[in-house]
Structure 1
Amino acid sequence: MVNFTVITFGCWLNKADSDLIITRLRDQGWLYVEDVESADYVIVNTCAVREEAERNELKLLRELSVKYPGKKVIVSGCLTRVRPASIKDAAPNAILVTSHGNEVMDEVLRRGGDVHIIDERPMKYLPRYMPELHGHRYVVPIQVGCLGNCTFCVTKIGRMGFGRVKSYSMDDVVNAVRDAVRRGAREIYLTGQEVSAYGHDRGYDLVDLLERLLREVDGRYMVRLGMMEPLELSRFIDRLLDVVKGDWRVYRFFHIPVQSGSDKVLRLMRRKYTVDLFRELVTRIRREFPEATVATDIIVGHPGEEDDDFWASVNLVRELGIDKVNLARYSRRPFTEAAYMDQVPEPVKKERSKIATEVFSQVALERNKLFIGRVLWGIVSEVDFKGENYVVRTYNYKPVAVKRADLGAFVKVTPREATSQRLIGDLVESEELNVKYRLDYRITEGLDMV
């Protein structure tokens, strides 16, 4: 029997792609192991979004090449299209799979050498739910590609972009989720490069998928939606809010990347919306769900960003009370238009990043403090990174650390402390809760459950 392991860098979509690799190889009779020492094959699924990730990946490949010269290394993912020569320099004997080898892993193994994939992924296979690896969480990719062509983005080269989208069929997604829920999955993460573009190539959209999934998959589970680009989200925001309002099984969580609070910088980025559209979306969400968690992405130091543009981003987060900001210092990436623009000096980017981190942390802290002393319900999602606490994800996806709980159980918690990253609280009751919930979105009162 052949042993293999997979090392994953990057986003939730990359994690789902790694699960697909594991699924495909297990179907061929291979045994998945969690450590490199025991593996005959080491598969590295790469990310190209940031320069820091690239450095870490190449460092790992060099270490694998030196420390384990007898092991076979397969490199897949976004970096393979962006830096193939650098990968070969770091690990000369590695098998290079240009782009994503998840759905063609059997072809990779049949050839035994580098595989350069020209055609886009066939969208035939989805990863299987694997509770022994991921507990009660099932991450399912629903689409790849995006409808944009941003100047800073290297993912459009590493995966798909330039206005191209490929979606899994609703039948395949619903069937995969139904099977996962039957086998014990309690959290369903719908992920993709831009989930708001789902179905663009098939004549339906994300709301159609969500409605059908909730209607046809019985059970007690929570659905988490992935990143939704503002312009695409605006096309169906009212329908989406109606679905979320009508079913307790959808996390009140909205990840909407704004990238900058300056319309000038958004134009330089070639984003397709204005700051006012983002503001309107957040306002509409908060009107329906005052307690909803709104997350966004912001890049500081993009070429052309001046002080006024930077402060526009900071003030936008303050104004809207954004719960979580994924802050990135602009990273110059190959083959992107922004790489050839006049660059913001590195010391300026570092200073802006420091200021933004402090402000965004304070905004997140104030937002989290609103929930201290409340009685909230949620699902015991995972053990924290230190292994010391269990993390309850509440109905609005707020993380609450408790001392002990049963993974996958629906529970009530009362937060007693807050940090910018999470709440810390106590379990109110640990037994399974009734299926039917009455959701009360008033910010001043706890959520009742009947």
Structure 2
Amino acid sequence: MARYHIETYGCTANRGESRAIERRLRDGGHYPADGPADADVAILNTCTVVEKTEQNMLRRAEELQDETGDLVVTGCMALAQGGAFADAGVDAQVVHWDGVPEAAMNGECPTTTPDAEPILDGVIGILPIARGCMSDCSYCITKRATGKIDSPPVEENVEKARALVHAGAKELRITGQDTGVYGWDDGERKLHVLLDRICDIDGDFRVRVGMANPKGVHGIREELADVFAENEKLYNFLHAPVQSGSNDVLGDMRRQHQVGEFLDVVETFDDRLDEWTLSTDFIVGFPTETDDDHEASMDLLRRIRPEKINVTRFSKRPGTDAADLKGLGGTVKKERSKAMSELKREVVGEVHESMVGDEREVLAVRPGTGDSVKCRDGAYRQVIVRNADEHGIEPGDRFEVSITAHETMYVFGRPV
């Protein structure tokens, strides 16, 4: 038996992969160490979304190889740029997610027993419903790691969800590189079918849907919005990354959708739901982005006013087609990023300011800073409740709060 230490970087889908790895390790009789220095093997589950992240991964791998017995590297950077670790002098086994348990257990590869309890992150259960996507974005290196969409059957994912709920999950996070194309490899998009089935599971829990690209959602937007409207267990939350407000730039990015299709999705959810949270992403400073293209993105942001916005400066990733394009220069990207980030704070701040004085039901999901707890309302907005011990509140509890104040990205609530 071995002691393992696992570190995970990047998206929720990566965290789901790590939970699956841990479950198989524990089935094999291995157990978590207190830290890398106490571990027989350290597992680094990597991300490589931008160049800065890549540098951080290499630095952390170098640190871990000095702190632990053996090092296993997996995740998106390992699969897309596996040679980078050897080039940096890192002595590690670089393997696919599925190969980590065998690599960590010296060739042993036990089968997960049917009655094994899934591993939760507090009261949060992470459910990767598929691996890969149907896109071919010109700037994305992750595609080299994940490949085309590979969707397990609906029933298999429902059983995994049921196991998480029975293990005590109060919040299920449905994840994947692109949840909107779940089932496309079998000829039919089935995200709405899967969500409806998961919501039929007995238990007191909420469901959050992870990133879904606009093109995948567009073809099932009415069916999907109806499922949200009909199921109280679903957070009214959709993460659909538009990336640009310019069709020309979207074409150069090979994003598959156009601005009009993204707006169709937004308008459909507006029609079906009284209140919901739109989360979206913008890439600023793509090599072909002109001043007019940037202003089109700013105009789109002003028009749709999403409540959660991720602004990322374009970063060339090795081996991608966009890496061969002549860049705009750091100053231009910095200025455009600053302008969009300022608009983001204005838009998001308005939403949270408007909530002050409301009373809402929330689910406590994580401990916060000090004696606080992080909660989510029905639209997945973050509500911070202070003095949690005084109120007898802990993760997993549902209760009513009065919204008393706000910061840019969240609000504060007092139990009613």
* TM band (smaller chain): over 0.9
In 2, distance between residues paired with 1:73 and 1:41?
Answer: 6
**Unmatched runs of 5 consecutive residues or more in structure 2:** none
- 1:104-123 equivalences under 5 Å are 105-106=101-102, 109-111=105-107
The residue type paired with residue 9 of structure 1 is Y
Counterpart secondary structure, 2:49: coil
Q: How many residues align?
A: 406
Aligned residue in 1 for 2:198: 213
* Amino acid in the other structure paired with 2:397: A
In structure 2, the CA distance between the partners of 1:330 and 1:387, relative to structure 1 (3 Å rule), is farther
1:124-145 superposed Cα distances (whole Å, 9 cap, x missing partner): 99995324xx111100100111
Letter in 2 for 1:106: E
Q: CA RMSD in A?
A: 2.0
Q: Displacement of 1:81 after TM fit? A: 2.9
Match in the other structure for 2:379: 396
Aligned residue number for residue 74 of structure 1:
72
* Helix, strand or coil at the partner of 2:129: strand
| Secondary structure in 2 matching 1:37 | helix
Q: Distance in 2 between matches of 1:126 and 1:207?
A: 28
Segment drifting more, 341-350 vs 285-294: 285-294
Change (3 A) 1:107 1:184: same
Distance across 2 between alignment mates of 1:128 and 1:53: 33
Distance 2:171 2:283 in 1: 29
Is the 1:268–1:304 Cα contact (8 Å) retained in structure 2? yes
Give the Cα separation in 1 of the matches to 2:371 and 2:397: 18
Supply the distance in 1 between the matched residues of 2:30 and 2:87 (Cα, whole angstroms).
29
- Give 3-state SS (helix, strand or coil) of 1:417's partner: strand
1:138 aligns to 2:125 (yes or no): yes
User: What one-letter code is carried by the residue in structure 2 that aligns with 1:269?
Assistant: M
Structure 1 residue 129 corresponds to structure 2 residue 125: no
TM-score (norm 2): 0.93
Give yes or no for contact 1:61–1:91 (8 Å, CA) kept in 2.
Answer: no
**Partner amino acid for 2:150?**
K
Q: Which residue of 2 aligns with 1:284?
A: 268
Matches within 5 A, 1:285-434: 285-384=269-368, 386-403=369-386, 404=388, 405-428=393-416
Q: Please report how far the alpha carbon of residue 183 of structure 1 lies from its aligned counterpart in structure 2 after TM superposition.
A: 2.3
Partner SS state of residue 156, structure 2: helix
Q: Percent identity?
A: 33
Distance in 2, matches of 1:146 and 1:170, equals: 17
Amino acid at match of 1:157: R
Q: Deviations over 1:389-434 (max 9, x none)?
A: 2111001000000011221011111111122210112111xxxxxx
Once the two structures are superposed, residues 246-292 of structure 1 have per-residue CA deviations (whole angstroms, 9 ceiling, x without a partner) of 11100000101100011110011011111111122112212222421
Closer/same/farther in 2, CA of residues 304 and 142 from structure 1, 3 Å limit = same
Question: Scaled by the length of structure 1, what TM-score is found?
Answer: 0.86
| Structure-2 change in CA distance of 1:173 and 1:34 (3 Å) | farther
Any conservation in 2 of the 1:9–1:53 contact (CA below 8 Å)?
no
Gaps of 5+ in 1: 113-123, 429-450
**Partner residue, 1:14:** 14
Query: Is 1:229 the counterpart of 2:213 in the alignment?
Result: yes
Distance (Å, rounded) in 1 between the aligned partners of 2:300 and 2:336: 15
The answer to whether the 8 Å contact 1:61/1:90 transfers is no
Task: Flag the 1:260–1:343 CA change in 2: closer, same or farther, 3 A.
Answer: same
